[in-house]
Structure 1
Amino acid sequence: MILLTSHILVVLGVVMGGFAMLIVLQQRRSPQSAAAWVMFILLVPYVASLVFFAFGFRKHSARFPPIHFSQIRAVAFDPQPVAKILQAFGMPPASQDNHLSLHFMPAEARDALFRIIAQAQTRLDITLYLLDDDASGHEFVEALIERAQAGVAVRLILDRLGSLRRPKAALERLRAAGAELRYYSPFLHRLGSGHLNLRNHRKLIIADLACVWAGGRNIGNAYLAEAQDWIDLSFSLQGPAVQTYIDLFAADWDVIGSASGTLIAPDAAAGTVIAQLVPSGPDTPEDPLHDALVSAIHRAERSIWLTTPYFLPTEPLLQALGTAARRGVDVRIMLPQTSNQWVADLARGAFLRDLDEDGCLVLRLQKGMLHAKTGMIDDLAWVGSANFDVRSMLLNFESALMLYDTDSVAVLRAWFSSLEPLCAQGVVKPSPPRRFVEGLFRLGAPIL
């Protein structure tokens, strides 16, 4: 009996491992990611196979159909090469006449957030990764309750993992007020659906189909209270680019509920911002954000400035940055000295040392947490929810607003420069044990 049981377990392990490796090799992955998964499965097939079927899926088109984008007015002149590349991937074109207000300070973000909610007259469509159970989180939900009671249609999507510590009682009162609340990627799904690994990291609030509050900020004291040592970036947007946010929310809502239909934003804005929203994730058939950034970095002639809380780049991004620095481009990477994710801090060390040797300038913010996700490459910039890591570029549901006008890029560059005096330059030489651990974490970065 024991012999038969052992035989069955061996056969089961071989079948599960073989099936998992077959799927890995058929998926659109980097060679490093595929190799990491195959090695993991070969070394510990029973554990690795279960982990893969729960977490390993990247694109799951049957579950997440492509976003349906509405037609918007494209720029009236020849756009930048990156804008053309993104259109070739099926992204909406860059549009002009947008109005953008960047929120660098928590008070600015908070005022803009509650203003957009208070002024909503017909509908509020919201997607959040994290809603904290603290004073800011409760104030946010109370504001939504007031609008719902006033007859405003409120629809709220929360990522199930990110919302573990949500204000549950307040959200139940929000539902009682008539709002619709749905959770993205709930935990109770069949094994192999990929839900546990595919998190919705987008942050967006759309009021009356006309104004958007979005960026890298979640809702909580860490993001909206002045007393916190937390540097982040969000923005308010009006204009043609709002339509893509509407399409994005409609796609997220349709996946977890009944079809909502595509709505059209009113054509009302008189700004000077040229913008192009780029979603990424399982609902985009390829990797437009990642591939466009690789192309832009290779095309860079003067400078590449990045801010990110977590730095675990794909191999193409890492090589593009190192090559750019070696050919004389001013490459600067700003991140926190210590982030709120110790695993990411261990995994980033080897990458940063490589780039430091290539001539990139590593800037380590000495106090507080840098959570802003933005970048400037020559005459373009972007701001959004995507970190400069494998998960944001290839796994999560994300969004990044590309900016092509001179003023927007200049404002972001000035903000970056204002933070440089708060940073230490270069990389810290690790002890031999830490260097060994960082090397191990680097091997696992493709599956983190």
Structure 2
Amino acid sequence: MLDYLTNHTWVIAIVINYLLALTAIITILLKNVDPTKTLSYIMVLVFVPFFGLFVYYMFGQEYRKTKLFNRKDISNRSVIKSVGKNLRIKEQDFDELNAVLDEKIKLVKLLKASEKSPLTLRNDIDILVNGKIKFERLFQDLKDAKNFIHIEYYVIKDDKIGTQFLDILCAKAKDGLEVKMTYDDVGSCISSKMKRKINESGIEHRAFMPVWFSSLTGKSNYRNHRKIAIIDGEIGYVGGINISDSYVNYEDSSTYWRDTHLRIYGEAVKVLQFHFLTTWDFVTEEEIEIKKIYFPEIECDQEIPVQIAASGPDTDWANIMEAILTAINNAEEYIYLTTPYFIPNDQIVTALQIAARVGLDVRLIIPKESDSWVAQRATASYLEPLLEAGVKVYLYKRGFIHAKTMVVDDIFGTIGTCNMDNRSFNINFEINALIYHNEKCKKLKSIFLEDLEDCETLKYEYWKERSKYCKLQESLSRLWAPLL
């Protein structure tokens, strides 16, 4: 028997592989997910033995419905319920907003059904362009903190800017403030020396879903891509800028990094706080105490309507993707999109094509040179049908554009962490601020138009004539699009 197994090891391994693959294929089919995604996984499972199983078990599991990430539902805590009740806007205010937004009120209603995405009115916001401005504002707010600081980032590195950031947190913790910090274990890189300093200062910190070899895991699934900073429950930050020198544009930086972040003062910070606590609840083993001090009364004389939309395996729906899709479908004049990774689903592609074909001004800014060869070519495969429909595509050439923004009709805008790709829509933990305000949306529009000065226009006539070799590369890369 042992000799038989030894002599037929390869055959046995292949049989076991395809038995497991068959089980996986049946599971995929029963989920009735997007056919393109289904076929991509089936092809990998059938034609790439062993590696196909690895890809499926690493990237193909759908956890949103199984609630793997909902260890405890903190939304049922009395403090959270009380805050949620107080955040509900009056019907009179909602009617006034309805008159301003017209058809776009559907966006509010889409997320309003979720207690985790209430519409907040009393807010003041600042749109921060690039890392230098963001870090100047953030560092000052951190130094001025009086009660607590909560940090949740995909990337935290103890390089030059990261060390400044962590030193401030350590100083505040030594002064007696509560400082909690969670960082993604794949995206972040903090040295043992810095971790000892963090521990000695009294900062509570946890890695999100730790991995053994973070430098080798690449885009291992279900990463926390959110970037949240909360100071005293009054000031919050959200957007595309991580804690790393890459985002600062020092004089010796090899690549100019163009990004956008948002500073919020007001009620919307309470929603950011809720989502931070949800993450903290997941990364810690102990029962967390939700203090009333986390949700202070905020005196804000500005009225800028803001909703916080979060999505990931811990949410029932793909909230951010649905909000973007609803905004596109209800646009009447223009849609301006900026994203570093454009690998959309069929719904987004069709919505953009229809918007352009009926005469709307639809514009898309993407990087001319991406930091991912495969992602760039997968993106390229989506451009020709958009160009043919009349979508204007611009290639940002000054450096790498990492901003994730959208503005529609001078009345709706979004700034956050969500890229226009499958990973952000369905796999990673993401968070965006949705803004319903004429002045701020015009500001976001003007920033978009300024970015166009650093872009080159992609012409349909030129693009459709690219070589068959380029198109083959794009088609092969697109096969991996649901996995990127």
Which residue in 2 is equivalent to 1:73?
A: 88
Q: TM-score, normalised by structure 1?
A: 0.93
Higher share in helix: 2
List runs of 5+ in structure 1 lacking aligned partners: 190-194
Q: How many pairs were matched up?
A: 442
Q: CA deviation at 1:167?
A: 3.9
The 3 A distance-change label for structure 1 pair 32 and 177 is same
1:37 alignment partner, one of 37, 41, 44: 41
SS of residue paired to 1:236: strand
Aligned partners of 2:308 and 2:433 also within 8 Å = yes
SS of residue paired to 1:328: coil
Q: CA deviation at 1:91?
A: 4.1
Q: Determine whether 1:392 maps to 2:424.
A: yes
Which residue in 2 is equivalent to 1:265?
A: 295
Q: Determine whether 1:345 maps to 2:345.
A: no
Q: Determine whether 1:317 maps to 2:348.
A: yes
Which residue in 2 is equivalent to 1:25?
A: 29
Q: Determine whether 1:252 maps to 2:279.
A: yes
SS of residue paired to 1:295: helix
SS of residue paired to 2:127: strand
1:186-241 deviation digits (Å, cap 9, x = unpaired): 1259xxxxx93000000011111221122110012222345451111112111111
Aligned partners of 1:123 and 1:152 also within 8 Å = yes
List runs of 5+ in structure 2 lacking aligned partners: 99-104, 214-218
Q: Determine whether 1:120 maps to 2:135.
A: no
1:140-192 deviation digits (Å, cap 9, x = unpaired): 111111111111111111101101x3344223201111111111111259xxx
Which residue in 1 is equivalent to 2:68?
A: 63
Which residue in 2 is equivalent to 1:87?
A: 112
Which residue in 2 is equivalent to 1:409?
A: 441
Which residue in 2 is equivalent to 1:192?
A: none
1:148 alignment partner, one of 168, 173, 176: 173
Which residue in 1 is equivalent to 2:310?
A: 279
1:59-114 deviation digits (Å, cap 9, x = unpaired): 25442116736512336223421110122355422111101111114332111110
The 3 A distance-change label for structure 1 pair 176 and 81 is same
- How far apart, CA to CA, are the structure 1 residues paired with 2:181 and 2:107? 32
SS of residue paired to 2:366: strand
Q: CA deviation at 1:25?
A: 2.8
Of 132-141 and 219-228, the range deviating more from structure 2 = 219-228
Q: Percent same amino acid among aligned pairs?
A: 29
Q: CA deviation at 1:256?
A: 1.2
The 3 A distance-change label for structure 1 pair 226 and 7 is closer
- Work out which of the two has the higher radius of gyration on C-alpha atoms and give 1 or 2: 2
- How far apart, CA to CA, are the structure 1 residues paired with 2:311 and 2:476? 28
Q: TM-score, normalised by structure 2?
A: 0.87
- How far apart, CA to CA, are the structure 2 residues paired with 1:318 and 1:262? 42
- How far apart, CA to CA, are the structure 2 residues paired with 1:359 and 1:277? 31
Q: Which amino acid aligns with 1:241?
A: A
- How far apart, CA to CA, are the structure 2 residues paired with 1:292 and 1:421? 28
1:365-411 deviation digits (Å, cap 9, x = unpaired): 11111111000122211000111111111111000100001111111
Which residue in 2 is equivalent to 1:380?
A: 412
Aligned partners of 2:155 and 2:183 also within 8 Å = yes
Which residue in 2 is equivalent to 1:135?
A: 160
Aligned partners of 2:116 and 2:271 also within 8 Å = no
1:438 alignment partner, one of 474, 477, 481: 474
1:2-36 deviation digits (Å, cap 9, x = unpaired): 56534532431122102222332344732211221
Supply the RMSD in Å over aligned alpha carbons: 2.0
Aligned partners of 1:239 and 1:267 also within 8 Å = no
Q: Which amino acid aligns with 1:63?
A: L
Q: Which amino acid aligns with 2:147?
A: T
Q: Determine whether 1:53 maps to 2:53.
A: no
Q: Which amino acid aligns with 2:387?
A: D
Aligned partners of 2:335 and 2:362 also within 8 Å = yes
Q: Which amino acid aligns with 1:244?
A: V
- How far apart, CA to CA, are the structure 2 residues paired with 1:380 and 1:431? 39
